[in-house]
């Protein structure tokens, strides 16, 4: 019988292909490189790989600007390489999720090249065009990578909408033909064997509510509203996509949703609504920024905020809907540098963070290098950075008179390139990532932090993650158990229970670099407690009613 809920029991590993493994010495990771590392992924035990975009792209945003949705980027290889990759993966029992980037395309996509040509081009309406004079954009909306969301195109004297870079024009989802093109393209990949999609900023696709119709601009009566993601029409589009494509295949789907709250996420992921399996949401990723400001405006994390936030999502999606669990992706800084300790307690704190996340209810995602505790990067000058968001912010803030050290401090904490330095495979030149010159410099700590070293050390973060993945497979309570926050008021400890029938897991994490005392909850018996995983040797014979925790100590006890 086909198991349609396999994605609830799965662990996903994200690969950012440009930085994973280079097979031909041009300094850029590629498909054959990934193929050569499948044994490594199998050893870790992950079920699914999510591959960031590998389609044809001029790379203004490293593949998130697609110029042909049905072909492979030359730098990454050929369609034959891709076919060999998916075939090898399937033989090893690993599923493949592709990135679906359909809020926008590249301005070099054939559709946009046509759309630009004239106001009556058949593809004009594939994108969002509005009249306006050269100095006054149609709305005052700001783009995610700085500046206005509107770019004036001399050719026809109109503006097109781009929520991200100006080389990423937004597709017009109100156009039925556009939606059909997208669904056909999805079927093309599903028929080639892909097992699902991660959908880039999928909750931004609907703009109708906020943007006056074209005619009103022409008549001079246009009234726009401030743009917000999550328009109600999102659900219509997702249900249509499900009906037209997804329901015909056995897939895993995860929608990247910026600024979504738990109530709306529940609507997107409730099984009876037939939209998506889960969303990738960002609330916990904004707890270390100043409220109302941008991610570059730093603020230390307060553990109480994190406990409250992650618990809210656990409770809200406990019965209806499903969570994804993550600390990292290609847009976020490295978690051990961010919420852990990347000096003396690097290994211990990375294990603690892994346990804290993987014992929760939901589908965990591991981002390449997280399993060996890779850290943030500090390049000396902005010239060593590649990321468009980082560079645009730098220029904008220099223009606004910020001082250089403050800007660099923001970059060190939050630049997306923290996640994008090449994967550290071994202690040889360029971390064994390439024999050439890497497209982005390798983190100099590769001599001590690398996969080869991790595989040799039975106490490594790698084997800790391997064990966390195995526990999920062995114990239904990890997949299905009810979540409850305990030690709620403790300022240093993040602890919770997972309960399924008569099994209770007690998950205890000291989040800080000092000792703390965990008082055992009186409603749970620890008489036959068994330790499933820990980051220091755990003594079961000690008095469990009050446990003294070392810095970043973490353990999971199974009780009944």
Q: What amino acid positions are annotated as catalytic residues?
A: 200, 256
Site for Ca ion in 16-45 (CB under 5 A): 22, 24, 26, 28, 30
* Max Cα distance, the chain (Å): 80
Do 63 and 161 contact (CB within 8 A), yes or no? no
Nearer to ligand TEU, 23 or 203 (CB): 203
Burial bucket for residue 146 (CB in 10 Å: 0-12, 13-18, 19+): middle
Do 18 and 29 contact (CB within 8 A), yes or no? yes
Chain-centre distance for alpha carbon 139: 30
367 contacts ligand TEU (rule: CB under 6 A)? no
Nearer to ligand TEU, 111 or 494 (CB): 111
CB of 520 to ligand TEU, least distance (A): 40
Partner in contact with 101, chosen from ligand TEU, Ca ion, none, beta carbon below 5 to 8 Å by kind: ligand TEU
CB of 295 to ligand TEU, least distance (A): 5
Residues 146, 139: Cα–Cα separation, whole Å: 15
284 contacts ligand TEU (rule: CB under 6 A)? no
Q: Which of 44, 60, 72, 101 binds ligand TEU (CB under 6 A)?
A: 101
Partner in contact with 22, chosen from Ca ion, ligand TEU, none, beta carbon below 5 to 8 Å by kind: Ca ion
CB of 89 to ligand TEU, least distance (A): 22
Partner in contact with 164, chosen from Ca ion, ligand TEU, none, beta carbon below 5 to 8 Å by kind: ligand TEU
CB of 207 to ligand TEU, least distance (A): 15
Measured CA distances, 457 to 353, 423, 452, 460 (Å): 19, 18, 9, 5
Nearer to ligand TEU, 254 or 461 (CB): 254
Q: Which of 22, 47, 371, 389 binds ligand TEU (CB under 6 A)?
A: 389
To 10 degrees, the CA torsion angle through 320, 326, 330, 334?
160
Query: DSSP letter string over 91-111?
Result: HTT-EEEEEE--SB--TTSHH
Q: Which of 56, 130, 295, 358 binds ligand TEU (CB under 6 A)?
A: 295
Partner in contact with 28, chosen from ligand TEU, Ca ion, none, beta carbon below 5 to 8 Å by kind: Ca ion
Partner in contact with 258, chosen from ligand TEU, Ca ion, none, beta carbon below 5 to 8 Å by kind: ligand TEU
Partner in contact with 200, chosen from Ca ion, ligand TEU, none, beta carbon below 5 to 8 Å by kind: ligand TEU
Nearer to ligand TEU, 217 or 379 (CB): 379
Partner in contact with 24, chosen from ligand TEU, Ca ion, none, beta carbon below 5 to 8 Å by kind: Ca ion
78 contacts Ca ion (rule: CB under 5 A)? no
Residues 258, 460: Cα–Cα separation, whole Å: 34
Nearer to ligand TEU, 172 or 497 (CB): 172
Contacts of 438 (CB under 8 A, 6+ apart): 22, 27, 422, 430
Enter the DSSP assignment of 198: E
Picking from 28, 4, 185, 16, the residue whose alpha carbon sits closest to that of residue 110 is 185
CB of 19 to ligand TEU, least distance (A): 13
Site for Ca ion in 253-282 (CB under 5 A): none
Measured CA distances, 477 to 481, 483, 503, 538, 559 (Å): 4, 10, 7, 21, 11
Partner in contact with 201, chosen from ligand TEU, Ca ion, none, beta carbon below 5 to 8 Å by kind: ligand TEU
User: Which secondary-structure segment (H or E) carries 526?
Assistant: none
Residues 303, 291: Cα–Cα separation, whole Å: 16
557 contacts ligand TEU (rule: CB under 6 A)? no
Nearer to ligand TEU, 97 or 533 (CB): 97
342 contacts ligand TEU (rule: CB under 6 A)? no
List the x/- string, 158-177, binding to ligand TEU by CB under 6 A. ------x-------------
Partner in contact with 207, chosen from Ca ion, ligand TEU, none, beta carbon below 5 to 8 Å by kind: none
144 contacts ligand TEU (rule: CB under 6 A)? yes
Q: Which of 51, 182, 201, 431 binds ligand TEU (CB under 6 A)?
A: 201
387 contacts Ca ion (rule: CB under 5 A)? no
Contacts of 500 (CB under 8 A, 6+ apart): 476, 477, 480, 481, 482
Nearer to ligand TEU, 367 or 518 (CB): 367
Measured CA distances, 362 to 212, 317, 340 (Å): 39, 9, 22
91-101 burial code (b ≥16 CB/10 A, e <16): eeebbbbbbbb
Residues 317, 242: Cα–Cα separation, whole Å: 21
Nearer to ligand TEU, 201 or 245 (CB): 201
Enter the DSSP assignment of 541: T
Q: Which of 61, 107, 275, 342 binds ligand TEU (CB under 6 A)?
A: 61
143 contacts ligand TEU (rule: CB under 6 A)? no
Residues 224, 210: Cα–Cα separation, whole Å: 6
Site for ligand TEU in 442-501 (CB under 6 A): none
224-244 burial code (b ≥16 CB/10 A, e <16): beebebbbeebbebbeebbeb
Nearer to Ca ion, 24 or 286 (CB): 24
Q: Which of 84, 258, 382, 455 binds ligand TEU (CB under 6 A)?
A: 258
- Report strand pairing: 252-256 vs 196-199: parallel
Nearer to ligand TEU, 268 or 532 (CB): 268
**The length of the chain, given as a count of residues:** 560
Q: How far separated are the first and last CA of the chain, in Å rounded?
A: 32
Contacts of 204 (CB under 8 A, 6+ apart): 103, 163, 229, 258
Partner in contact with 64, chosen from Ca ion, ligand TEU, none, beta carbon below 5 to 8 Å by kind: ligand TEU
Number of residues that bind ligand TEU (CB under 6 A): 14
Q: Which residues bind ligand TEU (CB under 6 A)?
A: 61, 64, 101, 144, 164, 200-201, 256, 258, 295, 330-331, 389, 416
Q: Which residues bind Ca ion (CB under 5 A)?
A: 22, 24, 26, 28, 30
């Amino acid at each position: 019988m086909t198991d349609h809920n396999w994605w609830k029991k799965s662990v996903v590993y994200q690969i950012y292909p440009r930085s994973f493994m280079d097979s031909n010495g041009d300094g850029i990771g590629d498909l054959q490189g990934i193929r050569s590392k499948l044994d490594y992924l199998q050893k870790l035990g992950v079920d699914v790989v999510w591959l960031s975009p590998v389609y044809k792209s001029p790379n203004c945003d490293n593949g998130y600007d697609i110029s042909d949705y049905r072909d492979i980027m030359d730098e990454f290889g050929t369609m034959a390489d891709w076919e060999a990759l998916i075939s090898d993966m399937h033989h090893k029992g690993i599923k493949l999720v592709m990135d679906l980037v359909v809020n926008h395309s590249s301005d070099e996509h054939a559709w946009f090249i046509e759309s630009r040509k004239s106001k009556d081009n058949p593809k004009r309406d594939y994108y969002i065009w509005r009249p306006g004079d050269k100095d006054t954009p149609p709305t005052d909306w700001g783009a995610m990578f700085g500046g206005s969301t509107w770019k004036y195109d001399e050719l026809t004297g109109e503006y097109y909408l781009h929520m991200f870079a100006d080389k990423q024009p937004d597709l017009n989802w109100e156009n039925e033909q556009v939606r059909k093109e997208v669904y056909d393209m999805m079927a093309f990949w599903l028929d080639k064997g892909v097992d699902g999609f991660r959908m880039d900023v999928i909750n931004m696709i609907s703009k109708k509510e906020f943007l006056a119709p074209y005619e009103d601009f022409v008549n001079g009566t246009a009234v726009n509203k401030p743009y917000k993601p999550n328009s109600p029409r999102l659900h219509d589009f997702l249900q249509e996509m499900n009906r037209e494509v997804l329901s015909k295949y056995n897939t895993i789907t995860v929608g990247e949703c910026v600024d979504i709250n738990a109530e709306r996420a529940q609507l997107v992921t409730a099984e009876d609504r037939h939209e998506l399996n889960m969303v990738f949401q960002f609330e916990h990723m904004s707890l270390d920024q100043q409220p109302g400001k941008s991610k570059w405006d730093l603020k230390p994390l307060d553990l109480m905020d994190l406990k409250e936030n992650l618990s809210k999502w656990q409770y809200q999606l406990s019965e209806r809907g499903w969570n994804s669990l993550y600390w990292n992706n290609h847009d976020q800084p490295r978690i051990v540098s961010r919420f852990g300790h990347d000096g003396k307690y690097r290994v211990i704190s990375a294990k603690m963070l892994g346990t804290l996340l993987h014992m929760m209810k939901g589908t965990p995602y591991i981002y390449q290098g997280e399993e060996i505790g890779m850290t943030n990067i500090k390049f000396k000058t902005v010239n060593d950075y590649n990321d468009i968001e980082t560079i645009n912010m730098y220029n904008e803030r220099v223009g606004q008179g910020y001082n250089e050290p403050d800007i660099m401090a923001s970059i060190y904490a939050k630049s997306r390139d923290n996640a994008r330095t090449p994967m550290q495979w071994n202690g040889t030149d360029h971390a064994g990532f390439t024999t050439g010159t890497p497209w982005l410099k390798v983190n100099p700590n590769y001599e001590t932090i690398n996969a080869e070293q991790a595989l040799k050390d039975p106490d490594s973060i790698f084997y800790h993650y391997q064990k966390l993945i195995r526990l999920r497979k062995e114990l239904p309570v990890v997949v299905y158990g009810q979540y409850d926050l305990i030690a709620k008021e403790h300022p240093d400890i993040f602890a919770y229970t997972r309960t399924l029938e008569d099994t209770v897991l007690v998950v205890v994490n000291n989040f800080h670099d000092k000792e703390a005392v965990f008082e055992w909850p009186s409603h749970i018996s620890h008489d036959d407690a068994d330790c499933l995983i820990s980051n220091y040797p755990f003594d079961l014979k000690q008095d469990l009613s009050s446990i003294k925790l070392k810095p970043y100590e973490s353990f999971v006890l199974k009780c009944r």
